[in-house]
Amino acid sequence: MTAPFPPASTQHPLAVITGGAGGIGRLVIEGLLTAGYHVIALTRQGSVPTLEHSPGITNIRCDLGDPQAIGLATDRIRSFGAPVRALIHCAGVIVPQTVSDLDDGAIREQVTVNLQTPIMLTTRLLDLVPRGGHIVFVNSMAAIVPLGGSSVYAATKFGLRGFALSLREEVRSRGIHVSSIFPGAVDTPMLQREMQNGGSALNFVTLPVPPQHIATLILRALRQRSRDVFVPSSDGIFGQLLLIFPAIWQKLLPVMLWMGEKGRRKYLRERKDETTPT
Ligand SMILES: NC(=O)c1ccc[n+]([C@@H]2O[C@H](COP(=O)([O-])OP(=O)(O)OC[C@H]3O[C@@H](n4cnc5c(N)ncnc54)[C@H](OP(=O)(O)O)[C@@H]3O)[C@@H](O)[C@H]2O)c1
């Protein structure tokens, strides 16, 4: 059973976020609360870990893989009748599989959660986003570079980038801001699951950054109305270069994979040291 919207929420700008129970999303919610937002969190569990009793959060239980559940969740948000100042799409899922091994369930889950859901949520809530409002897509460097072994994830993130860029064109005249955040590897449960299931060594060309770093950049993008944020920022330049000269990727890939394997071994060693009792 979900609680009614607390009356106090009307005094605060409203933020709607998906993926709020995840490594990055929970920290974004903490920052939003500190910044004075009332947060509507769409999560599978119907609560945000460690913030279960926060009066600043309205929880809506919602499986983002279920389009019907999204319809119900957006009806509920609409019934509140308040403008949505920030809409943050942070939920995501990756199932590493080579193309010859792809299974229908994994294709559907990734396409739905990573691409279809952010599009549907944006469509259904867009008229609630006022002038000065902001829509943030937590994307990935997998929207810029090919990711052999995770082609569906890359396809969804490439698609999400296309949607965000096109949306920006449509809503610019209405004064609505659109940002995409493109992290490389981030040290969250997603990366750990990915690595246990044969994820790409490219995640470790540079060391994974802590989720707090990404959360801080998302909150800064909201404050400063930045457009696209690459982490590390050098990846942005590299990404633009690749768009102009895609053939560079083939030349660089062997070196990148070698660096990534080295980085992966270092990461696993450090994690083992952290978990081994002294
Ligand atoms: N970690 C990385 O290396 C990395 C790198 C680049 C981009 N990103 C992007 O960053 C975003 C956040 O990822 P993260 O690293 O914080 O991963 P995470 O800790 O696994 O969080 C992902 C969140 O998405 C939610 N989610 C997945 N499927 C869902 C569904 N069907 N219904 C409702 N919620 C669902 C998960 O919910 P549950 O808690 O219920 O599982 C979880 O809270 C994602 O969009 C990801 O693609 C991550």
Centroid of ligand 1 to alpha carbon of 169 (angstroms) = 27
Contact status, residue 30 vs residue 48, Cβ threshold 8 Å: no
Please state the length of the chain.
278
- Given a cut of 70, whether residue 276 has pLDDT beyond it is no
Domain membership of residue 1 (yes or no) is no
Kindly state if the Cβ of 90 falls inside 6 Å of ligand 1: yes
| CA atoms of 180 and 197, how far apart (whole Å) | 27
pLDDT in tens, 119-163: 999 999 999 999 999 999 999 999 998 999 999 999 999 999 999
Domain membership of residue 215 (yes or no) is yes
* Longest CA pairwise span in the chain (Å): 59
pLDDT in tens, 191-216: 999 988 888 898 898 889 999 999 99
Average pLDDT of the chain is: 92
Domain membership of residue 278 (yes or no) is no
Kindly state if the Cβ of 191 falls inside 6 Å of ligand 1: yes
Residue 245's domain is classified under what CATH number? Answer: 3.40.50.720
- Given a cut of 50, whether residue 26 has pLDDT beyond it is yes
Domain membership of residue 205 (yes or no) is yes
pLDDT in tens, 217-249: 999 999 999 889 999 888 888 888 888 888 898
Tally of domains in the chain = 1
- Given a cut of 70, whether residue 8 has pLDDT beyond it is no
Q: What percent of the chain has a predicted confidence (pLDDT) above 70?
A: 95
According to DSSP, the residues that pair with 15 across neighbouring strands are 39, 86
Domain membership of residue 154 (yes or no) is yes
Contact status, residue 88 vs residue 129, Cβ threshold 8 Å: no
Domain membership of residue 2 (yes or no) is no
Contact status, residue 91 vs residue 63, Cβ threshold 8 Å: no
Which pLDDT belongs to residue 168? Answer: 98
Summarize the confidence of residues 46-54 as an average pLDDT.
94
Could you list the residue range(s) of the whole structural domain that residue 68 is in? 7-273
Q: Which atom of ligand 1 is nearest to the CA of 181?
A: 7
